Structures are given as structure tokens and as C-alpha cells.
Amino acid sequence: MVDLALTGFAFVVVNVALVVIVMPDLVGPGPTWLYYSFAFGVWMYSTFDNVDGKQARRTGTSSGLGELFDHGIDSLNCTLAFFNP
């Protein structure tokens, strides 16, 4: 089963890729759809990130390694949030 936090993180990575393509110099306001895309991506990331822990506890598949992986994905998300337009 694919970790839901990793699936949610894919939304953030796609948004960062869009910023790099649309606004490579990160100067000036971007198109309106880009802001909506980032809002949707962050919402999906937080939803998936919150659901995966609850699902792991419910199914009895939670572990220390899973928690470490989840926190690692969270730290990568915080790093990539810098590219938010």
C-alpha cells in the first residue's frame, strides 16, 4: 500500500514544478490559477497526511519507521513550501 503522506506530497511536488515552469525567476505575481493550485495541493497534502496515521492506527500497521517516514515527508514539505508564489 502506498503511503498516503507520500501521495499527498506528490501534490506539493507538482505545484513546485508548476511554479518552476510558469515563474522560473519567482518574481512578480503569478497567474491566478497557480495560487488556486497551491491552495488545493496544500489542502490535499494535509488531508492525506492526517488520514494515513489514523488509518495505520485503525488497521494496526503503525510503526516507528512509518512515523519517521511521515515526519521526513513533513520536513520535505516545509522545505518546498518556500516556493509558494
pLDDT in tens, 4-45: 888 888 999 999 999 889 988 888 888 999 999 989 998 998
Contact 85, 35 (CB under 8 A): yes
What confidence tier does 85 reach under pLDDT thresholds 50, 70, 90?
A: low
> Looking at residue 79, what is its pLDDT?
86
pLDDT in tens, 66-76: 888 888 888 88
pLDDT over threshold 60, residue 78: yes
As a whole number of angstroms, the distance between CA 34 and CA 9 comes to 17
> Looking at residue 43, what is its pLDDT?
92
Q: Which residues are catalytic?
A: 71
